[in-house]
Amino acid sequence: MQQKITPTITVPGTVCPVTLPEYLEKTYWWAYTHPNAVRVFERQWLVNLILWGNFAKLRDLALQEMGSEIQGNVLQVACVYGNFTQHLIQRLGPQGHLNVIDVAPVQITNLHAKLGPQKQVSIFQQDSTDLQFADASQDTVVVFFLLHEQPAEVRRKTIAEAMRVTKPGGKIVFVDYHHPKATSPFRYLMVPILTTLEPFAMDLWHGQIADWLPGDCQHLPLDKQTYFGGLYQKVVIQR
């Protein structure tokens, strides 16, 4: 079994030497990598509006998969605007620990500012396609609205890494966009929004998260639920 090096904790004002992906700088600089992005988007009401009032529901659906009291290691892949991480921390039991990774230094700095000192939290600058954690080292991995922001080849690697670091018997929880039902008005409203601002998001309309699983994970139990007329999905895979 391949082992990865032990990660180093990222503290405010310092980052590990990780290069920002080209697609992120070109496509999402306005939302994630520019300092002004944090000033604009780090507002609870705004992230809720972007998800048509569904942020809290989708957040809680993801957290419920981890239980009312979370023990063991949890990995959150990518920082999230809004209070997702704070609510996750509230569920940590005495033996629970949260690791959060993000590739963008400004997002790491922002998360430190939001959380303040936390004994049960470690924050790292890492690329989701090359996680610096050992195989089978995490009890739960949560990927909340990240996959739709990634090109297909990057998405495939992110999912493979999430699967790799999850312990046997552990869970991987994905929450993201999904193809709405034919009766949903968002089936038509969201197309110009996503194609203009989220150019990779339509992949999740035309494909399934299961399509990007590594070959050796195709047999794993998978539970998929959709919400808000099918616009959003939660996919839980048992390792």
E strand or H helix that includes residue 227? strand 222-227
* 137 DSSP assignment: -
CA-CA distance, 162 to 130, in Å (whole number)? 10
**How many Å apart are CA 196 and CA 103, to the nearest integer?**
23
Residue 162: the pLDDT is: 98
Number of alpha helices (DSSP H) and beta strands (DSSP E) in the chain:
9, 7
Mean pLDDT score across all residues of the chain:
93
User: CA-to-CA distance for 4 and 140, rounded, in angstroms?
Assistant: 18
Task: Read off the pLDDT of residues 169-216 as tens digits, 9 standing for 90 and up.
Answer: 999 999 999 999 999 999 999 999 999 999 999 999 999 999 999 999
The whole-angstrom separation of Cα 96 and Cα 114 is: 20
pLDDT-derived band at 55, boundaries 50, 70, 90: very high
Name all domains of the chain by residue range, CATH numbers in brackets. Answer: 22-238 (3.40.50.150)
Give the whole-angstrom CA distance, residue 162 versus residue 129.
Answer: 9
pLDDT at 1 over 90: no
Is the pLDDT score of 7 beyond 70?
Answer: no
Question: What is the model's pTM?
Answer: 0.91
Q: Are 198 and 151 in contact (CB under 8 A)?
A: no
- pLDDT at residue 6 tops 60: no
Strands 121-125 and 70-77: unpaired
* pLDDT for res 11: 38
Residue 8: pLDDT band with limits 50, 70, 90:
very low
